[in-house]
Structure 1
Amino acid sequence: MNIERHVKLFKNGRSQAVRIPREFELPGEDAIMRKEGSRIIIEVAPPSSLLARLKTLSPIEDDFGPIGDLPAEPFAF
């Protein structure tokens, strides 16, 4: 489903800016912008750390059952 909306461009200091309407709002604080021909594409930036990535995952709902203790293996120095 493609949603389209007309927006106004404005100047913010020496940069051109656009307000992103609520229905196009991106999660997080970082995005990646690139230009393809005459199109400008803005995408959510991938998480930058393992902890940030883990926070985006859903919990595992599978029941793995009890996990028994394994016997210790001998360790040589």
Structure 2
Amino acid sequence: MPTERHVRLFRNGRNQALRIPREFELPSEEAIIRKEGDRLIIEPLRRRSLLALLATLEPLEDEFPDIDDLPPLDDVNF
């Protein structure tokens, strides 16, 4: 896979745009773009997993009551 390709910039309304060649297509419908010096960095926006989201949350300080009388597993409707 090539790591570099010449592309042309064009105007799309008031925005500057470029067509991304097929070999550089991103596996996403959305992306993050940032500027580092003269470079533009475009990265696919990946959905965070539930575990990654939960890892960012603060632990709960609340005390939860003990549950003494749990129903038998066959009587639980999911």
- Consecutive unaligned residues in structure 1, runs of 5 or more: 51-73
1:39 is aligned to 2:39:
yes
Equivalents in 1 of 2:21, 2:41: separation in Å?
Answer: 15
* Alignment-derived partner of residue 15 in structure 1: 15
Mapped to 2, the partners of 1:37 and 1:2 lie a distance apart of 23
Identity of aligned residues (%): 64
Match of 1:4 in 2: 4
CA distance in 2, matches of 1:30, 1:5: 22
Per the alignment, residue 69 of structure 2 pairs with 75
TM value normalised by structure 1: 0.60
Q: Which has the larger radius of gyration?
A: 2
Counterpart residue type for residue 26 of structure 2? L
Deviation of 1:27 (Å)? 1.1
CA RMSD of aligned residues (A): 2.2
Q: What's the CA shift for 1:2?
A: 6.3
Tell me the amino acid that sits aligned with residue 44 of structure 2: V
Give the TM-score, by structure 2 length. 0.59
Task: Tell me the equivalent position of 2:25.
Answer: 25
* Count of residue pairs brought into register by the alignment: 53
Q: CA deviation at 1:28?
A: 1.8
Aligned residues of 2:9 and 2:16 also touching (Cα < 8 A): yes
